[in-house]
Amino acid sequence: MKHILRALALAMCVTLFAAAPASGQERSATKQGFELAPKSGKKILVFRPSVQVGSQSTGGMFEPNGEWTDSAKRNLQVALEKLQTKLGNEIVVAPEAYGEDAQKLAEHMALFAAVSDAVIEYQFFRGNRLPTKKRDNKEDVFDWSLGAGVADLPGAKDADYGLFLYNRDAYGSTGRKVLQVLAMLGPGIPVKSGEHQGYAGLVDLKTGDILWLNADAAMGGDVREAEGADKRAAQLLEDFPGSDLGQ
């Protein structure tokens, strides 16, 4: 019922935040007490990094580009390996999901997005904090979860943590964002993007608790240069627990 209003409120947060990037707005948080050491022997599962690459025209249209997509697919493996070494722990790619598994995964992705929205809107954004979340902030509490249902997601049995990467782009594809993140860490595929919202979250695959979240609603800007792309990727995965990306 209130989704439209909420959406507008979030839009306002985003706009205000984008206008004043130095206002001390939080972008990421870690669950109290959670630590992930480099080379801890823990496995991190990345969900369905499907691939789409294209460019952005002046009018703001995403133009899918098949050849880029093909080369991106070839490069994905390389990028993953790079990512893995930079993230400090072992990365496993989730198996392709079909049927009910795919539905379950899609619903969890949607929940992850909704939770990320809520975190940005009601805990990170200073002007709009919920009173109870304000208190949480003071006490350094970051208590959000996707629930224990994540344990049944495809591939979850074989890993400790799940890395959810979610993006809302004009074409509704989560895959493109994932690719961008990976590609930017990798061989520098020229991915152009006009996207603005990117969420990355590390989730405990037994409890569903969000251990680390980088929910940046203002990743915007016209990242047309490789340099800008690198910056963006670093932004999304900065402070990733156990990684040396933030430094």
Partner 1 sequence: MRALLAIAATLWAAPHAAAQQMLPPPYQGVYQPQGVDEIGLWREDDEAEKELAASPLVIRDEALTAYVKHVLCETVGDDRCNSVRVYIIREPTFNASMSPNGTMRVLSGLFLRVRNEAELGAVLGHEFGHFESRHTLQAFRSRRTGSDVLAWGALLAGMAPGYRTMRTYQDLQLSVYGSLFRHSRDQEREADRLGVAYLNRSALRPQAAGDMWQHVMAEAESSASVRGLKKPNFNAIAFTASHPPNGERAAYLTELAASDGDARDDGAARYREALATWMPVFLDDQIKLNDFGASDYLIQNLAQNGWTDTLWLARGNLYRTRGTQRDFIAAAQFYQNALALNPALGEAYRGLGLSLIKTARRTEGQAALKHYLQLSPDASDAAMIRLMLPEENSQ
Partner 2 sequence: MTHRMFRTLTGAVAAMALLATPALAHRLRTAKEAATVAGSDMSVTPDRDWNRLSMAPGKHAETWTLDGEQLNDVTFYGGIAPDEPLVRERSKKRDPLPKFLQSTLLVEIPELLEGTYRTQKNIASFELLSTEPTNFLGNKGVRFTYRYTDDDALTRNGEARAAIVGGKLYMITFDAPRLYYFDKSIEPARALMTSATLPGGGAH
User: Could you give the C-alpha distances from 45 to 90, 146, 155, 238, in angstroms and in order?
Assistant: 9, 15, 7, 18
Beta carbons of 68 and 188 less than 8 angstroms apart: no
Amino acid at site 164: F
Q: Closer to partner 1 by CB, 7 or 37: give it.
A: 7
Round to whole Å and give the CA distance between 61 and 64.
9
57 binds, among partner 1, partner 2, none (CB under 5 to 8 A by kind): partner 1
Contacts of partner 2 in 98-137 (CB under 8 A): 106-108, 110-111, 113-115, 117-118, 121-122, 127-133
Distance (Å, whole) CA 102 – CA 94: 11
Decide which of partner 2, partner 1, none touches 122; Cβ closer than 5 to 8 Å per partner kind.
Answer: partner 2
CB–CB of 139/132 below 8 Å? Answer: no
Interface characters, 4-43, with partner 2 (x: CB under 8 A):
xxxxxx--x-------------------------------
| 201 binds partner 2 per the rule CB under 8 A | no
| CA 55, chain centre distance (Å) | 20
Measured from the CB atom, the residue of 120 and 191 that comes closer to partner 2 is: 120
Q: How far is the CB of 152 from partner 1 (least distance, A)?
A: 15
Per-position DSSP letters for 7-45, written without gaps between them: HHHHHHHHHHHHH-TTS----EEE-TT----TT-S-EEE
Nearer to partner 2 among residue 68 and residue 144 (C-beta): 144
Partner touching 60 among partner 1, partner 2, none, CB below 5 to 8 Å by kind: partner 1
Interface contacts to partner 2, rule CB under 8 A:
1-9, 12, 106-108, 110-111, 113-115, 117-118, 121-122, 127-133, 144-149, 208
